[in-house]
Amino acid sequence: MPKKELVGKVVSNKMQNTVVVAVENYFPHPKYEKQIVRTKKFQAHDAANKCQIGDVVRIQECPPISKMKHFQVLEIVGSKRDTSVAIEEGGI
């Protein structure tokens, strides 16, 4: 069975080698069909401490690292720093 991969936004990086990633799941309401958003937070292992708050990251399931950590950061998909640089240069 393949390992689960999720994409979410970093909401906390205050711990050593750990980030908290909020993953949003959209689904229709059973009766009214309106799109509902459910957010779940996962703790993920970030060995390099590169992730900053606001970054969009891809996390992958792994064997348990600690009581709460069962995911590891694969890559930083989008960075908050990238958009701020573009705004300073007048690109956006």
In the chain, where are the structural domains located? 5-89
DSSP letters, 38-60, are EEEEEEEE-TT----TT-EEEEE
Residue 7: pLDDT band (50, 70, 90) is very high
As a whole number of angstroms, the distance between CA 69 and CA 17 comes to 11
Residue 92: pLDDT band (50, 70, 90) is very low
pTM: 0.82
Tens digits of per-residue pLDDT, 61-91? 999 999 999 999 999 999 877 655 444 555 4
As a whole number of angstroms, the distance between CA 25 and CA 16 comes to 27
Query: In percent, how much of the chain has pLDDT > 90?
Result: 83
Which 3 state secondary structure label does DSSP give 77? strand
Residues with Cβ within 8 Å of residue 60, at least 6 apart in sequence: 3, 4, 5, 71, 72, 74
Tell whether the model's pLDDT for residue 54 goes beyond 80: yes
CATH of 5-89, one of 2.40.50.140, 3.30.70.360, 1.20.1630.10, 3.40.640.10: 2.40.50.140
**What value does the mean pLDDT of the chain take?**
90
